[in-house]
Amino acid sequence: MFVSSFAARAYIERTSSVLRDAMVSRFGGSAAENLANWQRAMQAILVAPAGERQTLVAVNNLANRVDYLSDQQNWGVPDYWATPAEFVSKGAGDCEDYVIAKYYALRTLGVDGNKLRLIYARAFFQGQLVPHMVLAWYRSPDAEPLLLDNIDPRLLPASQRPDLSPVYGFNEEGLWQGTSRNASAPITQVQMLSKWTDLQWRVKAEMQL
């Protein structure tokens, strides 16, 4: 079902020359600069004395610097989940691309995957209800999650985001209703499952370059 997607070796934080060249071939010379800038920023976060919350803020801010662009504009399709290497190299993405990049960056920085969950939600944005995705971090299994978001860059508890209605959350371990880490019945048949599994396989392939 789910793919164990994290490797001890850093992913785009220590880009192999083969992966870098592949991104440059696809997206042009700016990809190398974008990757290098991301790597320098990640290294600064890694060596800075900070608690986990400060690391969340730093990664949230780093990813949110990337330009927003819809999948239709960016990839020519209605919905595409970019790998972090694609997102950083191209220098643009939409909500799920921000979340995926933040998730992998935090895993690289040592944050336990069980504390993280990608949350699919409905957001009230610019006067209408739109599909959206945020990253949730749980200090403990029963704690209220803090949300990392590109719409509202502040690190806020879920209860302080009335504009968001969570539908389900997922990580490498499974898929659950809402934001609860203790939901009794995981969702098993949703489109997100195949997209998330496919994304993890593509990341694993990039890690091997």
Residue 4, domain member (yes or no): no
Domain that holds residue 182: 12-207
Residue 37, domain member (yes or no): yes
Residue 3, domain member (yes or no): no
Residue 6, domain member (yes or no): no
Residue 179, domain member (yes or no): yes
- Sorted by sequence, the CB contacts under 8 Å of residue 134 that are 6+ apart come out as 95, 99, 118, 119, 121, 147, 148, 149, 164
Backbone angles phi, psi at 12, to 5 degrees: -80, -5
Average model confidence (pLDDT) across the chain: 88
* pLDDT(189) > 50: no
Residue 156, domain member (yes or no): yes
List, for residues 126-144, the tens digit of each pLDDT value: 889 999 999 999 999 889 9
Residue 60, domain member (yes or no): yes
CA count, 13 A, side-chain hemisphere, 1? 13
What's the domain count of the chain?
A: 1
* pLDDT(125) > 80: yes
Q: How far apart, in whole angstroms, are the C-alpha atoms of residue 83 and residue 199?
A: 7
pTM of the model: 0.91
Residue 107, domain member (yes or no): yes
Here the CATH number for the domain that contains residue 159 is: 3.10.620.30
